[in-house]
């Protein structure tokens, strides 16, 4: 069992989620229970799934959860793009969030390579 707080990727995912929460505060009120909620939920699911991975007893289960976290990143990527295209996120804010998300995905891929199969 690992301590998720010691994983750099978890810290990056957590900070990304905090930034998503701040960003979605400015979304239109009509999106309170739509895209804003979905983005918040799915971005936090990345960090939650990494946390779940750390609670696994086997390397195989650890890998499975890391793979799930990486897949959730792809969903969040689309939700960010949609938010940008609907003009809910300014281009600079979108790019900053996109950069953070890419970093989390790369770190997850790197960690997956480091875990024995």
C-alpha span between 104 and 47 (Å, rounded):
10
**CATH class of the domain comprising 4-114:** mainly alpha
pLDDT tens per residue across span 16-45: 999 999 999 999 999 989 999 999 999 999
The DSSP secondary structure of 47-97, one letter per residue, reads HHHHHHHHT-SSHHHHHHHHHHHHHHHHHHHHHHHHHHHTTSS-HHHHHHH
pLDDT tens per residue across span 88-117: 999 999 999 999 999 999 999 999 999 988
pTM of the predicted model as reported, rounded to 2 decimal places: 0.94
Q: What pLDDT does 1 receive?
A: 76
Q: How is the chain split into domains, by residue range?
A: 4-114
Which tokens hold the place of 107? 């770190």
Which tokens hold the place of 49? 């799934």
């Amino acid at each position: 069992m690992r301590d998720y707080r010691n994983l750099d990727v978890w810290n990056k995912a957590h900070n990304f989620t905090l930034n998503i929460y701040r960003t979605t505060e400015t979304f239109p009120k009509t999106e309170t229970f739509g895209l804003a909620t979905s983005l918040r939920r799915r971005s936090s699911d990345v960090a939650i799934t990494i946390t779940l991975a750390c609670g696994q007893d086997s390397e195989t289960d650890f890998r499975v959860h890391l793979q799930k976290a990486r897949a959730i990143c792809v969903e969040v990527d689309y939700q960010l793009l949609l938010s940008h295209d609907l003009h809910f996120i300014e281009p600079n804010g979108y790019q900053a969030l996109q950069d953070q998300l890419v970093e989390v995905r790369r770190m997850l891929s790197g960690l997956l390579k480091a875990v024995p199969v």
